[in-house]
């Protein structure tokens, strides 16, 4: 797929950091599986990853945490234990 932002390169599989900010709250999630444009750096995550990221941010907000830097894989393991199938 060609990058939708720069339209200059094919996006490739990789790992990215995703940052969230809401008011005073700041969250950075590292090692997020994504597709990344090697030209402009735009990142794309699939729907399941996006849902997980939003759940992580919501749980952080509910817990009252104001600043965190976390690893995606560890965070999703924590989510799996909270919401077993």
| CATH of residue 48 | 3.10.20
Query: 7-52: per-residue pLDDT in tens?
Result: 999 999 999 999 999 888 899 999 999 999 999 999 999 999 999 9
| Domain with 45 in it | 12-82
Considering its fold, how many domains does the chain have in total?
A: 1
Global pTM? 0.81
Residue 5 lies in a domain: no
Q: Which of 41, 10, 65, 83 lies closest to 57, judged by CA? A: 65
For CA atoms 6, 8, 10, 13, the dihedral sign is: negative
Determine the straight-line distance between the first and last CA of the chain, rounded to whole angstroms. Answer: 33
Q: Please report the pLDDT score of residue 85 as a whole number.
A: 44
Residue 49 lies in a domain: yes
Q: Are the beta carbons of 27 and 56 closer than 8 angstroms? A: yes
Residue 61 lies in a domain: yes
């Amino acid at each position: 797929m060609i990058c939708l932002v720069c339209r200059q390169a094919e996006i490739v599989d990789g790992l990215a950091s995703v940052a969230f900010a809401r008011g005073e709250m700041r969250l950075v999630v590292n090692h997020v599986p994504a597709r990344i444009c090697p030209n402009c750096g735009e990142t794309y995550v699939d729907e399941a990853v996006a849902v997980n990221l939003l759940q992580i941010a919501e749980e952080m907000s509910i817990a009252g945490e104001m600043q965190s830097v976390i690893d995606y894989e560890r965070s999703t393991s924590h989510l799996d234990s909270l919401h077993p199938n």
